Structure 1
Amino acid sequence: MATHAAVPGRKGARAHARPRSLTPYAVAVPLALGIIYGFYAAFIRRDGGPSTGGQVVLGLVAGAAVAALCFALGRIQRTLPHGPRALACGALTACAVGFLVSLTDTGVLRSALLGLAVGVGVFLATFYLFYSREP
């Protein structure tokens, strides 16, 4: 009587990977973050006076940049290991906070240190989150 050998299957994390489709949530969250960030950047630059065209352009550009970076990070984050994934989240947050602080006409050192402090906090929190929910 002949026996059948077991056929080895594909192993690894990408064995059953399908192309990811673009969900409404994947577009709505970066878009909402970009809109909020852009409004806040324009509001900080306003300084209590009337709105100008330069402030509107600043808000649009800053919001579009944050939305694009959040969308890009959301698309590639599943392919990154825990460390670089958390580092990318921390770096994005550090740059965003540092830019907002620099709009208040404070020194470069203060905006860099505050952005760095917030970025390190986000890195630690996201690394813990990603590492503790490892499959």
Structure 2
Amino acid sequence: MATHAAMPGRRTPRAHARPRRRTTLAWALPLVLGVIYGFYAAFIRRDGGPSTGGQVLLGLVSGAALAALCFALGRIQRSLPLALRAVAYGALTASAIGFLVSLTDTSVLRSAGLGLAVGAGVLVVTFYTLYSRET
């Protein structure tokens, strides 16, 4: 009876996976997006009047939150499957746009609807871009 011969294993030690270095762009892009987002959130809330401490605090907190979420998504995006990566980008964009629209004192349905519409568009474009680069 014939049996399969076992393939000889590698005798050389394998190189361990080195941790990825964080490039300047990996932290600079979320930081810039957070600053712009924070300024815009504070500007929307200002409504033409003088700036107050509450508006500045709103801008700082919302900008820091978006920067942290963008940085976290940038760190884990390579480990996500293609479709889930597109969903993550769409969800982040939808929540960011929905929050900005809610600052304009419109209805909840309008801010949720506009956030979902923009998020769906980002999802489709991101999925198409990632899928076309993969193949």
In the superposition, the TM-score normalised over structure 2's length comes to 0.88
- Does 2:54 align with 1:54? yes
- Does 2:93 align with 1:99? no
- Does 2:86 align with 1:86? yes
Q: CA deviation at 1:20?
A: 1.0
* Residue 76 of structure 1: aligned partner: 76
Q: CA deviation at 1:6?
A: 5.9
**In 2: Cα distance, 1:37 partner to 1:16 partner:** 39
* Residue 66 of structure 1: aligned partner: 66
**In 2: Cα distance, 1:78 partner to 1:18 partner:** 15
CA RMSD of aligned residues (A): 1.8
Question: Greater shift after overlay, 113-122 or 17-26?
Answer: 17-26
**In 2: Cα distance, 1:74 partner to 1:56 partner:** 27
* Residue 28 of structure 1: aligned partner: 28
Give the number of equivalent residue pairs: 126
**In 1: Cα distance, 2:9 partner to 2:61 partner:** 55
Gaps of 5+ in 2: 1-6
Written as runs of structure 1 = structure 2, the 5 A alignment for 1:5-16 is 7=9
* Residue 19 of structure 1: aligned partner: 19
Gaps of 5+ in 1: 9-14
User: 1:2-28: CA deviations, max 9, x gaps?
Assistant: xxx6646xxxxxx98532111111000
* Residue 112 of structure 1: aligned partner: 112
Moved over 6 A (4+): none
Bigger Rg, which one:
2
**In 1: Cα distance, 2:106 partner to 2:62 partner:** 19
- Does 2:44 align with 1:44? yes
Letter in structure 2 aligned against 1:61: V
